[in-house]
Amino acid sequence: MNSANSLYAQDFGNLQIAMAFVLVLVAMAISKLLKLDLKKDFFIASLRTTLQLIGVGYILRWVFKSESLVVNLLILLVMTLVAAQAVTSRLKQKNLKYYVAALVALLASVWPLGFIALEVFFRAQALQQSIFFIPFMGVLMGNALSAISLAFVGLERVRAENILEIETFKALGANSFEACQRLYRDLLRNALTPNLNGMTIVGIVSLPGVMAGQLIGGVDPVTAARFQILVMFLILLTAMVGTLVALGLNHFFFMPSWLTSQEQPWSFPLEQHEKLVLSGPSGTGKSRLLKSMRLLDLESVRATLQNKSSVKLLESSSLKTQYLHQRAFFIPGTVEENLRWPFSFKNNSEKIYKADRIQKFLKKLGLPPDILQKNATTLSGGEGQLIHLIRSLQFDPQVLFLDEPSSSLDSQKTELLEAFLDEWTQQKNHSLVMITHNRDQTKRFASKVLLLKDEGLMYE
C-alpha cells in the first residue's frame, strides 16, 4: 500500500472527530464576535452532519456487502425523496404540490440519465455494485438538486415580481411560453451557472470530488481524469433536464391560470367610434374587469357581472383588442428595440415593423424622434405610457382597453393624448374603453360612461 492509500485508510476515530469539531467552535466564535447570530445554526448543522454521515457510514457498510439491485434502488429512492424535500425547504411557500413537482423533476432527470449512462459506459452489472452505483448516482442527484432548487427559488420570485412583464407580452400577442421566455431563459442560465463555472476551472483551480477520491484510492491520474470528464458532462445534462422539467411543471401548474387558458375573449357591447369611460370607486375591480376581457384575469368577474349587471355581457368576441396596463414594462434596450420585440412572437410573425408609422405616432404625441435610441428602462412614467400605447397600436387593434393612460402625464401631454385617441377612434371601426378617476377628463372625453359598483355595471 502506498503512502496515499495509507493516509486514506487510517483509522479516523472519535478523537479525530472531536478535534475536527474545534473548527466549528472557531466559526461559532467568529459569529459571536461579528454578531452574525449564526452560532445556533452552526451547531445544529454540525451536529446533523456528524450524525447523518456516521449513520450513512454504518448503512453503506452493510449495503456495500449486500450487492443487491433491490437495495440499491431503495437507497436511490430514499435519496430522491430527501432531495425533493431539500429543494422545497428553501421556498417561502411550502406545500405538497411543490414537493411533488420537485420529486418529478428529479425522477425525470437523474434516474433515466443515470441508468442510461451506467448501461452504455459500464454495462448492466454496475447497477448491482453498490460501492459504485450509490456514489455515482449520488453525485448526479446532488448537482441536479442544486440546479432545480435554484430554479424553484427563481420561479417563486417570478410569480411574485414579474407578472407585469408576462401580462404585457401576453397582451401584445405572445403565447404562454413566449410571455415567459425571457424569464425562463435567465432562470435556466442561473441554475446552470455553478456547473458551467465548475467545468471552466476543473483541473486548474480545483479537482472534483470524484476524481480526488479516485486519486486517493490509487487510480491512474489519466484514467481518473477521463472518468471525471464523463461525470462532468453527465452532471451538466442532468441539471439542465431537471431544470427544464421544473420550468415546465411550474408553467402549467403554478403560474396564473389565465396564462395557459384557451378561453375566448369577451366584452360588453361597444359601438364603433365609442369612447367608453369605466368609472367607479377604487377597489371595485375596474382594472381586473379590463384585464379579464383580454384574458389576463380569470377570476369570477364575468359570472358576478352577468348576475348583477344591467349591461349585457358578450360571452365571446372576435374583435382584436389590446389591454394597456397603467404601468408600462420594457426590457433592457432602446425604445426601438422594445417596439420591435413583439414582432418576434409567433402570432405577430406576419406583421411588419413600420418605422414611418412610428414617427407619425411620435409626432402626434409630442415625443421627439430621437427617443427611439433612448434606454427604455430610463423613460419617465409619462413617456413610458405613451411609448407603450404606440407599441400596442402597431398591431391595429379594433378596441383599446386603457387603464388610466394619462395618470403620469402633465396637462399638455394629456391634451395631446386625448386628441390622439379621439382621432384614432374616428378611424375604421375603432373604439376604446378607458379607466380614469379624473372627473374633468371624463366629462370632456367620454362619449358614454359606465359605472362599476358593488351592485354591478350600469350606464351613467
pLDDT-wise least confident of 66-75, 92-101, 380-389? 66-75
pLDDT tens per residue, range 277-294: 999 888 888 998 899 888
Q: Which is higher by pLDDT, 409 or 203?
A: 409
> Has residue 137 got a pLDDT over 90?
yes
Q: Which amino acid is at 200?
A: T
C-beta separation of 325 from 334 below 8 A: no
Mean pLDDT, residues 80-99 taken together: 94
User: Please, are residues 416 and 366 in contact by the beta-carbon 8 Å criterion?
Assistant: yes
Dist. CA 58–CA 75, nearest whole Å: 13
| Confidence bin at 30 (pLDDT 50/70/90) | very high
pLDDT for res 114:
95
* pTM of the shown model: 0.87
Neighbours of 437 (CB within 10 A): 13
Please give the share of the chain, as a percent, with pLDDT higher than 70.
97
Q: Which residue has the higher pLDDT, 63 or 256?
A: 256
Show the domains of the chain with their CATH numbers. Answer: 67-257 (no CATH), 275-459 (3.40.50.300)
What stretches of 254-326 show up as alpha helix (H) in DSSP?
Answer: 286-293, 301-308
For position 163, what pLDDT does the model report?
95
The DSSP call for residue 264 is P
Query: In whole numbers, what is the pLDDT of the chain averaged over residues?
Result: 91
Check pLDDT > 80 for residue 105. yes
| Number of CB atoms found within 10 A of residue 362's CB | 19
Query: Grid coordinates representing 326?
Result: 397603467
CA distance linking residue 424 with residue 49, whole number of Å: 68
- 313-359 pLDDT, tens digit per residue, is 777 777 789 999 999 999 999 999 999 999 999 999 999 999 999 99
Say yes or no to pLDDT of 407 above 90. Answer: yes
d(CA 219, CA 355): 66
Per-residue DSSP letter, 313 = P
- Per-residue confidence band for 5, with pLDDT thresholds at 50, 70 and 90: low
pLDDT tens digits for range 163-193: 999 999 999 999 999 999 999 999 999 999 9
3-state secondary structure of 2: coil
Size of the chain in residues = 460
Element (H, E) at 19: helix 14-33
Give the largest CA-CA distance in the chain. 95
Q: Report the share of the chain in percent with pLDDT over 90.
A: 68
Indicate if the pLDDT at residue 1 is higher than 50. no
What per-residue confidence (pLDDT) applies to 300?
A: 60
CA distance 42 to 48: 10
Residue 237 vs residues 27, 114, 379, 404: alpha-carbon distances, Å: 36, 10, 41, 47
Q: Which residues pair with 321 in a beta bridge?
A: 399
Work out the average pLDDT over 259-275.
Answer: 87
pLDDT in tens, 216-240: 777 898 988 899 899 999 999 999 9
